[in-house]
Structure 1
Amino acid sequence: MKGRCASLLFFLCLGLSQSLSAASVVFLNPGRTHEPFWASYAQFMQAAAGDLGMKLEIRYAERNLERMLDQAREVLQGENRPDYLVFVNEQYAGPEILRLARGSGVKLFAVNSSLTPDQQSVTGGTRERYPDWIGSMVPNDEEAGYLMAHSLLEQQARRAYGQPFDVLAFSGVKQTPAAQRREQGLMAALAEFPQARLRQLVYSEWNRDRAYNQALQLFQRYPDVSVVWSANDEMAFGAMKAATELGRKPGRDVYFSALNNSPEVLRTYLDGQISALVSGHFTLGGWAMVLLHDYDAGVDFARHGGKDREVRLFMALDRDKAKRLLRHMEQQGYDLDFRALSLVGKTSAPDYRFSLEPLMK
């Protein structure tokens, strides 16, 4: 009996020890709680944290810069500080978050939008003036903007038989690096199609209702528009609603692009109303958790691909890929083994291999 009790006590203590030593992470989510993209982003991070044995807390800023900075201050200067803080340089908030972190002992990691070159000329880069800012990881936003635009323009060019055609563009928050880089991709694609005339680019701040109200005016101002590029799915849905109300048929009269991974956008693409769909960056927070897990275990990701990395996560989807991604989105924990991507104990592994491919199986 004593032996059984001793064994039970040993395993209880082991479990407690592992719980106490689990790396703790706070993610400052710049989006809204019920915003499809940022909600799925958080879910993917939670799936990674659970699989990797990490503690993750997510705080939503609800698209409010002051709220995000207040949350950063509370996390970094409060009593119960995490081991790591993951943040986004939304609305150029990065330098202030770094300043708040000074002397906190919390390690910082930037995702999705890192500090711009102009900002880093003042703050320094990772592991420089702010040594606890240990790394960053961003997706290939410019390529995403290009992939959407090129697909749309190519489809319309075939339909227009060389004749000029009109284009509208809906971008996100003007002060967000991700939006700016997606616009750069759009402009690169437009340069390849001289017959495409960009009538207007507006900033819809990633918001469906704002894009809807803008599109109602724009479609009437430019009645011959046949291509609509949107930097995310919410804005695409707003523009599509406006087009439909004005008697235009998405996927037939007007080609629309979208970017994201919600079941809604995947199904809309599969039914033909969206003509070009790109996805992948919702996984980035989960991959960041893998890097932090390994760093905490003594495997520095800087030696396996660099402390700052741009990962080619965005992928143009076809119908088969969209179906496969939708199937994973609907499964508990995305049916992924995040530990398989860790380099802990894998001395021969040269680098991390993050992509959307695991969700294409």
Structure 2
Amino acid sequence: MKYTFRLILIFILIIFSFFSYPAENNSKEKKFQILYYNSENQEGFWWRTTSEFMQAACQNLGMDLNIVYVDRDAAFMVNDFKNKAATLNKPDAVVFQNLKSNAVNMLNIAEENKIPAFIFNAGLTEEQDKQYGKPREKFKYWIGQILPDDKKAGYDLAIQLFNEAKRLGLKDKNGNIHFLNIIGTKTDTSSIERENGLKLASQHEKKIILDQITTANWDRNEAEKSLNWLILRYPEANVVWAANDLMGLGALDSLSKTKIKPGKDIIIGSMDWVPEALKHVQSGKLFTSLNGHFIETAWAAVLVYDYLNKNDFASEKTSFTSKMTVLSKSNINLYLKNFKPDNFKKINFSNFSKVKNKNLKKYDFSFDLVLKKIISN
């Protein structure tokens, strides 16, 4: 009888251990699913680089990343998120920019489905900001944002161009330096803020004359067509200020059909660090390009990772600002030598996470710091 009882007890223990095995597996750390809406497509350098950086950061932090390219279709982004948010396998967090003012619709979907949402690159418009405020004010699940200081970038680009034109003596008889200015769109926050920075520079430097500001929808061909007639209408123009590199390249395309020599007769500057543009920075046809904020997606991944692992970055703040770095002939070679997609994987993004790095007291999201990490490796 005693022997039989022991056999039964052993059998029960075996059965119990068999059924309890999956529970042991479930105790492992959850692998979070992150959804990233890329506003463009894989062809453009800037937006492709945002995906590469975010993929490197998520992989380093042990998260799965789903990238959806929307090709500037704001309505598609909203509808796709609505469908994904309603599934049983909904994402643990979503990252996106305010594309054509669609952020409020995206935030409403996140709120309804209790999905943490993080905005990068382009925040709420001024009107939206007045109505909905900052992260966690009206939308509980809008957990944070990281945005470039586009206004300062627009200002810095203008001052850089002004100083170079002044150095080269490119001015009219009254000492004024005339700017032709090409912005992206009237609705994109980044375009609006860069234009605001340009206007602020013209207020601070009275010798800056903004002959005309025109839109080219971030497009190279449109910028070329715009400059074709702008250069005829304003023959005294000394500077072309372009809100992105593609439009700066469009300006170069236009000038190539004239006798005007970029870098000598007229100074051109832009933003985004597109490879073709940087080659022209090397040659001197483009004076400068500002960027570095494509790494914001990696910083978004770090902040989302910490939040999902119960170390809320709100203890520091919910709105972060990234600064743009100026590339010119003085530092372009260092950048080109080290800044390659294969090197992104060398960056240990755990060093920037408060969950992974217990000694970290304050987030340090600096492109220059990342470049130093790449060089040191």
Once the two structures are TM-superposed, the CA of residue 333 in structure 1 deviates from its matched residue by 4.2
- 1:292-319 CA-to-partner distances (Å, cap 9, x unmatched) read 1111222111113x011223x2012243
Once the two structures are TM-superposed, the CA of residue 258 in structure 1 deviates from its matched residue by 1.4
Once the two structures are TM-superposed, the CA of residue 146 in structure 1 deviates from its matched residue by 1.1
Matches within 5 A, 1:179-194: 179-194=191-206
Cα separation, 1, equivalents of 2:204 and 2:134: 35
Matches within 5 A, 1:126-165: 126-160=135-169, 163-165=175-177
CA RMSD after TM alignment: 2.3
1:109 aligned partner, one-letter code? F
Cα separation, 2, equivalents of 1:251 and 1:232: 18
- 1:199-218 CA-to-partner distances (Å, cap 9, x unmatched) read 11111111111111111121
1:110 and 1:200, CA in 2 relative to 1: closer, same or farther beyond 3 A? same
- 1:207-259 CA-to-partner distances (Å, cap 9, x unmatched) read 11111111112112222222000111011001110011122222121100011
- Count of residue pairs the alignment pairs up: 348
- Partner residue in 2 for 1:263: 275
Does residue 340 of structure 1 match 2:351? yes
Does residue 353 of structure 1 match 2:364? yes
2:339 aligned partner, one-letter code? M
Once the two structures are TM-superposed, the CA of residue 347 in structure 1 deviates from its matched residue by 4.1
- Partner residue in 2 for 1:175: 187
- Partner residue in 1 for 2:264: 252
Cα separation, 2, equivalents of 1:262 and 1:18: 45
2:87 aligned partner, one-letter code? G
- Partner residue in 1 for 2:19: none
Moved more, 139-148 or 227-236: 139-148
Cα separation, 2, equivalents of 1:210 and 1:195: 28
Cα separation, 2, equivalents of 1:149 and 1:258: 9
- Partner residue in 2 for 1:316: 326
Cα separation, 2, equivalents of 1:222 and 1:171: 17
- Partner residue in 2 for 1:9: none
Cα separation, 2, equivalents of 1:251 and 1:283: 29
1:177 aligned partner, one-letter code? T
From 25, 28, 48, the equivalent of 2:34 is 25
Check the 8 A contact 1:30/1:64 in 2, yes or no. yes
- Partner residue in 1 for 2:7: none
1:322 and 1:17, CA in 2 relative to 1: closer, same or farther beyond 3 A? farther
In structure 2, the residue corresponding to 1:70 is in which secondary structure?
helix
Once the two structures are TM-superposed, the CA of residue 155 in structure 1 deviates from its matched residue by 1.2
- 1:303-361 CA-to-partner distances (Å, cap 9, x unmatched) read 13x011223x2012243532232233324142322111111154442210011112154
1:231 aligned partner, one-letter code? A
Once the two structures are TM-superposed, the CA of residue 166 in structure 1 deviates from its matched residue by 2.0
In structure 2, the residue corresponding to 1:103 is in which secondary structure?
helix
1:308 aligned partner, one-letter code? S
**Structure 1 unmatched runs, 5+:** 1-12
1:286 aligned partner, one-letter code? A
What TM-score results when the alignment is normalised by the length of structure 2?
0.86
1:199 aligned partner, one-letter code? D
Check the 8 A contact 1:44/1:333 in 2, yes or no. no
- Partner residue in 2 for 1:3: none
Cα separation, 2, equivalents of 1:192 and 1:120: 27
Matches within 5 A, 1:1-361: 21-160=30-169, 163-304=175-316, 306-311=317-322, 313-334=323-344, 335-357=346-368, 358-360=370-372, 361=375
Moved more, 68-77 or 232-241: 68-77
Percent identity between matched residues is 28
Once the two structures are TM-superposed, the CA of residue 19 in structure 1 deviates from its matched residue by 9.0
- 1:40-82 CA-to-partner distances (Å, cap 9, x unmatched) read 1111111111111111111111112222222222232334310
Larger Rg: 2
In structure 2, the residue corresponding to 1:130 is in which secondary structure?
coil
Cα separation, 2, equivalents of 1:46 and 1:19: 22
- 1:142-179 CA-to-partner distances (Å, cap 9, x unmatched) read 11111111010111123337622321011112101111
Once the two structures are TM-superposed, the CA of residue 18 in structure 1 deviates from its matched residue by 9.3
What TM-score results when the alignment is normalised by the length of structure 1?
0.89
In structure 1, the residue corresponding to 2:113 is in which secondary structure?
coil
Check the 8 A contact 1:211/1:238 in 2, yes or no. yes
Once the two structures are TM-superposed, the CA of residue 117 in structure 1 deviates from its matched residue by 4.5
Once the two structures are TM-superposed, the CA of residue 183 in structure 1 deviates from its matched residue by 0.8
Cα separation, 1, equivalents of 2:132 and 2:196: 25
Check the 8 A contact 1:77/1:100 in 2, yes or no. no
